[in-house]
Amino acid sequence: MKTPTLPLFDRPEGMTTHDYAFARLRQAIMVGSFRPGTSVTIRGLAEALESSPTPVREALRQLTSIGALQVLENRRIVVPRITPARFEELISLRIALESHAARRAVAHLTERQIERISAIDDSIEDEIRRGDQAAALIANQAFHRTIYTANPDQIVMPLIESVWLQLGPILGIAMEHVSELYVVDRHREAIEALRRRDEDAVAAAIAADIREGIGGFDQQAIARLLKLAA
Amino acid sequence: MKTPTLPLFDRPEGMTTHDYAFARLRQAIMVGSFRPGTSVTIRGLAEALESSPTPVREALRQLTSIGALQVLENRRIVVPRITPARFEELISLRIALESHAARRAVAHLTERQIERISAIDDSIEDEIRRGDQAAALIANQAFHRTIYTANPDQIVMPLIESVWLQLGPILGIAMEHVSELYVVDRHREAIEALRRRDEDAVAAAIAADIREGIGGFDQQAIARLLKLAA
DNA sequence: TTTGCGAAAATGTGATCACAAAATGAGATT
DNA sequence: AATCTCATTTTGTGATCACATTTTCGCAAA
């Protein structure tokens, strides 16, 4: 199993080699470019990124500590495999974390910010209509992130992104086998609830959005997808 | 500000230098050995750990990616400072995460495991009587961890420990200025609820335990502690 | 005493190398 | 054809070094 190709990623000036490697790998995993079970090697990535083992190893270490990658007993590094039980854990954890994050953001959101969130939701539907699943996925993440980060003291976002990263690989598989992945109806519901400053309704809409989106796959569907990926 | 001394830590045979550095630093931060604002240097720690910069830098990178340390603009690495608002975020996040983790563990706990948890609770009170705050803290963490990890598919524990790590530094300050830190009454309540397999009661007991324990400090108390630490 | 300046020291970064362990693959044996 | 053996290659690990930047500190000027 060889090192997969990495999506393009502009390197901002002044960014360290390590940060660049980390950001690029993270992005690749987040959008499902890596399949579960794929093994990544330090030298392989160093070559792909035109750098040396040192910064790449640091990036891999960071990715493993946030659950995006997994170190085997052999010390080899692989993209974690997902079981139906693990998938269910990830979905329920997403709901717990994001309901909480949404609640604690409600009070901080300005009308202006809510408008921006509504615009992001429109762009999601645009991307879906255009058939660009990856772009729709990125926009969907932006929708959620923009809500949660409205809380200036928020510290939950890194944890949420950790869960997103762990869902990335199966998301990539799903994108290959399912034509429509998102049900965005709940987004408008969430936006309306934000306007009303109704914490309970916001949390409920977010939970439903997750449950009916990627979380909507039942155990059998997941098992089928996982079999396809094997 | 110089590198603080590290608590003792046995190095298991076969453990890599990097893992050792990571484990030791993590433990130190978790039990509050480092004060907020303390800066740590790669070479300083490499010397303290009798190794070289490479594995230490990797350990520091990992610790920053789980929120235990913070990289400044200067690229210097420091123990994050805590504000009252951030403290409140951490406590409410602990409650959200641990209530969720406890709920999802209830169905998996055997009578035998519940007995072991009860024994851990006894040991907490022993350590408190003995006046060993650090040992009581470790035992308290073991109490919580043992419950949550009863769920074999659980993936929430790393996130919970991330929050514990972020609370570590203020915990160290609190231990210096407060004689009694824990109210363990809620532990027995949680154990009883576990025996009854009552998810709601377990979650409520855990939430109350956190709220009345370290979470019991109100904003003014925290502000006072932070002033003392400055 | 305070402020400004410049040399020295400290620090983060990343490439390279040597070493040990693991994986791979070719050829011989059953 | 399947399995075992051993040499080769690949891989992770960690120490070291050079470079650029930042910080520190002593000393002179205001």
Sign of CA dihedral A20, A23, A26, A28: negative
A97 contact partners, CB below 8 Å, separation of at least 6: A156, A159, A160, A163, B96, B97, B159
Between the alpha carbon of residue A202 and those of residues A60, A183, A194, B65, the distances in Å are 36, 16, 6, 29
A interface mutation test: which of B63, B99, B156, B167 has the most A CBs within 10 A? B156
Round the average pLDDT of chain A to a whole number and report it. Answer: 90
Q: Is the pLDDT of residue B230 over 60?
A: no
Q: Stated in angstroms, how far is A42 CA from D11 C1'?
A: 8
Q: What is the pLDDT of residue B185?
A: 76
The verdict on A85 touching B (C-beta cutoff 8 Å) is: yes
Q: Which nucleotide is nearest to B21 (CA to C1')?
A: D14
Q: Are A169 and A32 in contact (CB under 8 A)?
A: yes
Nearest one of B89, B47, B79, B76 to B168, comparing CA atoms: B79
Q: What is the ipTM of this complex?
A: 0.92
Interface touch B89/A154, C-beta < 8 Å: yes
Q: What is the pLDDT of residue B183?
A: 59
Confidence category of residue B212, pLDDT binned at 50, 70, 90: confident
* CATH code of the region B17-78: 1.10.10.10
Phi/psi region, residue B2 (left: phi>0; alpha: psi -120 to 50; beta: rest), is beta
Q: What is the pLDDT of residue A2?
A: 39
Q: Stated in angstroms, how far is B117 CA from C8 C1'?
A: 58
B48-59 confidence digits (pLDDT tens): 999 999 999 999
The DSSP 8-state label assigned to residue B153 in this structure reads T
For chain A, first and last CA: distance in Å?
13
Instruction: Decide: CB of A52 under 7 A of nucleic strand C.
Output: yes
The verdict on A17 touching B (C-beta cutoff 8 Å) is: no
Confidence category of residue B3, pLDDT binned at 50, 70, 90: very low
Q: What is the pLDDT of residue B218?
A: 64
Q: Looking at per-residue confidence, does B204 or B222 come out higher?
A: B204
Q: Stated in angstroms, how far is B143 CA from D18 C1'?
A: 50
Residue B77 β-bridge partners: B40, B71
Instruction: Decide: CB of B18 under 7 A of nucleic strand D.
Output: yes
Instruction: Decide: CB of B65 under 7 A of nucleic strand C.
Output: no
CATH 1.10.10.10 boundaries in chain A? 17-78
Interface touch B65/A65, C-beta < 8 Å: yes
B interface mutation test: which of A65, A92, A108 has the most B CBs within 10 A? A65
Instruction: Decide: CB of A112 under 7 A of nucleic strand D.
Output: no
Q: Give CA–CA dist A85/A88, Å, rounded.
A: 5
Q: What is the pLDDT of residue A176?
A: 81
Between the alpha carbon of residue A198 and those of residues A99, A106, A109, A152, A202, the distances in Å are 13, 8, 12, 19, 6
CA angle B219, A148, A106 (to 5 degrees): 70
Q: Stated in angstroms, how far is A166 CA from C10 C1'?
A: 39
Interface touch A65/B67, C-beta < 8 Å: no
Strand D: which bases are under 7 Å from protein Cβ? Answer: 10-17, 22-23
Q: What is the pLDDT of residue A225?
A: 73
Instruction: Decide: CB of A219 under 7 A of nucleic strand C.
Output: no
Confidence category of residue B104, pLDDT binned at 50, 70, 90: very high
Q: Looking at CA atoms only, how far is residue A103 from chain B in angstroms?
A: 11
Q: Is the pLDDT of residue B5 over 50?
A: yes
Listed as ranges, residues in chain A with pLDDT below 50 are 1-4
Instruction: Decide: CB of A74 under 7 A of nucleic strand C.
Output: yes
- Which class in CATH covers the domain with range A84-229? mainly alpha
Confidence category of residue B191, pLDDT binned at 50, 70, 90: very high
CA-atom Rg of chain B in angstroms? 18
Q: Give CA–CA dist A162/A80, Å, rounded.
A: 13
Instruction: Decide: CB of A52 under 7 A of nucleic strand D.
Output: no
A199 contact partners, CB below 8 Å, separation of at least 6: A102, A103, A106
Once rounded to an integer, what is the mean pLDDT over residues B3-17?
A: 74
Half-sphere exposure of B63 toward its Cβ, with a 13 Å CA cutoff? 32
Instruction: Decide: CB of A55 under 7 A of nucleic strand C.
Output: yes
Quote the strand ranges of B16-157, DSSP E. Answer: 39-40, 70-71, 77-78
Q: Give CA–CA dist A16/A34, Å, rounded.
A: 24
The verdict on A35 touching B (C-beta cutoff 8 Å) is: no
Let me know how many helices (H) and strands (E) chain B has, helices first: 10, 3
CATH 1.20.120.530 boundaries in chain A? 84-229
Q: Looking at per-residue confidence, does A94 or B220 come out higher?
A: A94
The verdict on A100 touching B (C-beta cutoff 8 Å) is: yes
By the 10 Å C-beta count (0-12 exposed, 13-18 middle, 19+ buried), A129 is classed as exposed
Percent pLDDT > 90 in chain B is: 73
Among chain B residues 90 through 129, which have CB within 7 angstroms of nucleic chain D? none
Interface touch B153/A83, C-beta < 8 Å: yes
How many residues does the structure list for chain B?
Answer: 230
The verdict on A161 touching B (C-beta cutoff 8 Å) is: no
Q: Give CA–CA dist A95/B162, Å, rounded.
A: 19
Round the average pLDDT of chain B to a whole number and report it. Answer: 90
